Chain A
Amino acid sequence: MTHHSRMSLATYMNTDSRFLAQAYSFFGILKVSMVDCLAHPKRILSNFLVLFVRVGVMFALYAYAFKYVGRNVNGISFEIAIWSIAIYFIILATYLRYIFVDINTDVVSGKIETIVTKPVNYLLYRYALKLGAGLGDMLFVLIAVSLILGLTIGIPAGTHDLLWVLEVILITVLGMVITLLMYSLIALGSFWIDNARPFFWIVDKLVLVLGGSYVPIALFPIAIKLFAIYSPFGASMFATYIFNPDFAEKFVTLVGVQVMWILVFLILIKFVFGRAMKRLSVNGG
């Protein structure tokens, strides 16, 4: 073994152990955050109450609308429309988009300087906190809403085997990753402008429209539907497609789009975060 290759191996092992340490910290923080979230049952119940009202109103709206037209619209039945909207709001209940608020506040208040001096990756630390709390928040509403909808309108027709479950998990997780990356990228803009909040609103509303919050994507005009599929705003909410009749057929395309956006955001974040850290001066105090 040459000196050069020994160095490479050492560097590799060092990188490897650093990666493991970061992963260990990430899951440690995530676990603590989740346990903390689950320790507040009143908050979880109030989250469920909000979701119940929102889905309940949409239920009434679409029950009336489908009764009025008397048929499926663009191949979408009443059951599929309600499940699609409910899934949107269940994912919304994770509050992952508020990663923007956390990072934006850290930057604007200067708190970030106290976190970056710690031996953890700042962004991973924030992601772990948000994800832990988000999963804790989502767990109860996911079970409760699924039970309520399953008992009232049933599960839409289609093949729902183990493969389908795995596809649903994959598409949901990738969507959550896009959400974290996209909103944290906007938040990093606070290093250059006084407050990036207006950009948050605009992106948030694009997700609201193109993610299928109030109107399922299948009911959109074709041009908007295509934009929803190929933009990161729609890609973050592909989980709402899982009951669509053509989900299995489109699955590979949907995952491909998600992976592409994750790669794009990772590159952008690496670049922007690096530049942002150069602008940061830690003054102590």
Chain B
Amino acid sequence: MNTKKILEELKVAWLISKMNYRNEAELKTSFMVQVIGMVVNDAAFLFVWLFFFSAFGTINNWSYNETIALQGYIALTFGLAFSFGDGARYLAERVHNGIFDNLLLRPKNLYLSIVTSNMQISALGDVLYGLILFGIYIFVAHPSFLQIFLLLTMAIPTTLIFLNIAIICSLVAFFVPDADKLSKNLFEVFFSPSFYPSSLYTGAIRFVFFFIIPAIAIGGVPVEIVRDVNIPMYLVIWALGIGWTILASFLLKLAVKRYESSNLIGARE
């Protein structure tokens, strides 16, 4: 695919996302309740860690500051990925219900069609919460300009990793029947370890959670990179973001070959 074609596909994806957003924002009260509700919901995790650190002190050089940044990364990454790319999570359900044909028949890029096929409005609350936590982190940890730059720019590759893992977990639906819950559980296996201080994971476990199931690549390791100003690792995170995108696109092509239309007849979404 040449650059012009890629830009054209991205423009279409952007227009679909904008349309999804306008649809959702039409019900203003519901929109606001969902966004604010999500911010309140996310704040619970911070209290949990407040209780934890007050009982135990630091964990392998991780204290409250690092945890604020970690929660910020997770919220921002989740929010960016699913506010515009929630379709990644619903792929297994679409395949199981036989309504994947709608996307397959579109004359546009399949990967982007899947990703932008759904929008989760509450995820904008996660984005807002993530930015608030980054603001708090900057206020309490006094990072340098370079550290702030690293903190903010790494949200791009971490979002790519997150989104592509969601797609890869959904692909199981092409191989196993009725795999909706299975794919959600696989995603949980990836997502659950990301909430904890990455200094907990050492040796082989750290390798697994960084490269194979990249749970700590979406928050824990980026926080350490910002704290220690580790530029080589910063580049590794970007490489992982691009690498997982390429891998997800490749696996999607392979998986789609196994899809058999159920010729479901019904009202079009």
Residues of A whose CB lies within 8 Å of any CB of B are: 40, 42-43, 46-47, 49-50, 53-54, 57, 60-61, 64-65, 68-69, 73-74, 193-195, 197-199, 201-202, 204-206, 208-209, 213-215, 219-221, 224
Which of A53, A197, A206 is close to B192, meaning CB atoms less than 8 Å apart? A53
Instruction: Determine whether B38 belongs to the interface, using a CB cutoff of 8 Å to chain A.
Output: yes
Instruction: Determine whether B97 belongs to the interface, using a CB cutoff of 8 Å to chain A.
Output: no
Residues of B whose CB lies within 8 Å of any CB of A are: 27, 29-30, 33-34, 36-38, 40-41, 43-45, 47-49, 51-52, 54-60, 122, 176, 178-179, 181-182, 185-186, 188-189, 192-193, 196-197, 200-201, 205
Which of B29, B51, B60, B176 is close to A42, meaning CB atoms less than 8 Å apart? B176
Enumerate the 5 nearest inter-chain pairs by beta-carbon distance, A residue then B residue, closest first. Answer: A198-B37, A205-B44, A201-B41, A46-B185, A65-B56
Q: Smallest distance from the beta carbon of B49 to chain A beta carbons, Å? A: 8
- The residues of B that contact A54 with a CB separation of less than 8 Å are 192
Task: Give the distance in Å from the alpha carbon of A224 to the alpha carbon of B51 in the complex.
Answer: 10
Which of B34, B48, B193 is close to A208, meaning CB atoms less than 8 Å apart? B48
B52 x A42 contact (CB < 8 A): no
Which of B37, B40, B55 is close to A215, meaning CB atoms less than 8 Å apart? B55
* 17 cross-chain CB contacts under 8 A: A46-B182, A46-B186, A49-B185, A64-B60, A64-B200, A65-B52, A194-B27, A194-B30, A197-B34, A198-B33, A202-B37, A206-B44, A208-B44, A208-B48, A209-B48, A215-B52, A221-B54
In the complex with contacts A43-B182, A61-B196, A205-B41, A198-B55 CB distance below 8 A: no
Q: Smallest distance from the beta carbon of A158 to chain B beta carbons, Å? A: 22
- The residues of A that contact B189 with a CB separation of less than 8 Å are 49-50, 53
Q: Smallest distance from the beta carbon of B218 to chain A beta carbons, Å? A: 15
Q: Smallest distance from the beta carbon of A121 to chain B beta carbons, Å? A: 27
B192 x A50 contact (CB < 8 A): yes
Chain B interface main SS type: helix
In the complex with contacts A43-B182, A194-B27, A215-B51 CB distance below 8 A: yes
Which of A46, A197, A219 is close to B55, meaning CB atoms less than 8 Å apart? A219
- The residues of B that contact A224 with a CB separation of less than 8 Å are 51
A50 x B188 contact (CB < 8 A): yes
Q: Smallest distance from the beta carbon of B130 to chain A beta carbons, Å? A: 16
Which of A68, A198, A214 is close to B36, meaning CB atoms less than 8 Å apart? A198
- The residues of B that contact A201 with a CB separation of less than 8 Å are 37-38, 40-41, 122
- The residues of A that contact B57 with a CB separation of less than 8 Å are 68-69
Which of B54, B186, B192 is close to A57, meaning CB atoms less than 8 Å apart? B192
B48 x A213 contact (CB < 8 A): yes
Q: Smallest distance from the beta carbon of B106 to chain A beta carbons, Å? A: 25
Beta-carbon nearest neighbor of A194 in chain B: B30
A60 x B200 contact (CB < 8 A): yes
Task: Give the distance in Å from the alpha carbon of A271 to the alpha carbon of B241 in the complex.
Answer: 52
- The residues of B that contact A215 with a CB separation of less than 8 Å are 48, 51-52, 55
7 new A-B contacts, CB < 8 A, other than A68-B57, A198-B34, A199-B37, are A50-B192, A197-B122, A205-B44, A208-B44, A215-B48, A219-B51, A219-B55
B48 x A68 contact (CB < 8 A): no
A40 x B40 contact (CB < 8 A): no
* Residue of B51, B54, B60 with highest tally of chain A CB at under 10 A: B51
B196 x A57 contact (CB < 8 A): yes
Task: Give the distance in Å from the alpha carbon of A50 to the alpha carbon of B215 in the complex.
Answer: 13
Which of B27, B38, B44 is close to A209, meaning CB atoms less than 8 Å apart? B44
Which of A65, A193, A214, A219 is close to B59, meaning CB atoms less than 8 Å apart? A65
Task: Give the distance in Å from the alpha carbon of A74 to the alpha carbon of B43 in the complex.
Answer: 25
A43 x B44 contact (CB < 8 A): no
- The residues of A that contact B196 with a CB separation of less than 8 Å are 57, 61
Which of A47, A57, A61, A202 is close to B40, meaning CB atoms less than 8 Å apart? A202
- The residues of A that contact B51 with a CB separation of less than 8 Å are 215, 219-221, 224
Q: Smallest distance from the beta carbon of A63 to chain B beta carbons, Å? A: 9
Q: Smallest distance from the beta carbon of B257 to chain A beta carbons, Å? A: 22
Which of B30, B181, B188 is close to A195, meaning CB atoms less than 8 Å apart? B30
Which of B59, B122, B178 is close to A198, meaning CB atoms less than 8 Å apart? B122
Beta-carbon nearest neighbor of B51 in chain A: A215
Task: Give the distance in Å from the alpha carbon of A137 to the alpha carbon of B38 in the complex.
Answer: 28
Q: Smallest distance from the beta carbon of B242 to chain A beta carbons, Å? A: 26
- The residues of B that contact A205 with a CB separation of less than 8 Å are 40-41, 43-45
Task: Give the distance in Å from the alpha carbon of A46 to the alpha carbon of B188 in the complex.
Answer: 10
In the complex with contacts A43-B181, A49-B189, A53-B192, A202-B59 CB distance below 8 A: no
Q: Smallest distance from the beta carbon of B186 to chain A beta carbons, Å? A: 7
Task: Give the distance in Å from the alpha carbon of A224 to the alpha carbon of B44 in the complex.
Answer: 13
- The residues of A that contact B33 with a CB separation of less than 8 Å are 193, 195, 198
B185 x A50 contact (CB < 8 A): yes
Which of A46, A64, A197 is close to B181, meaning CB atoms less than 8 Å apart? A46
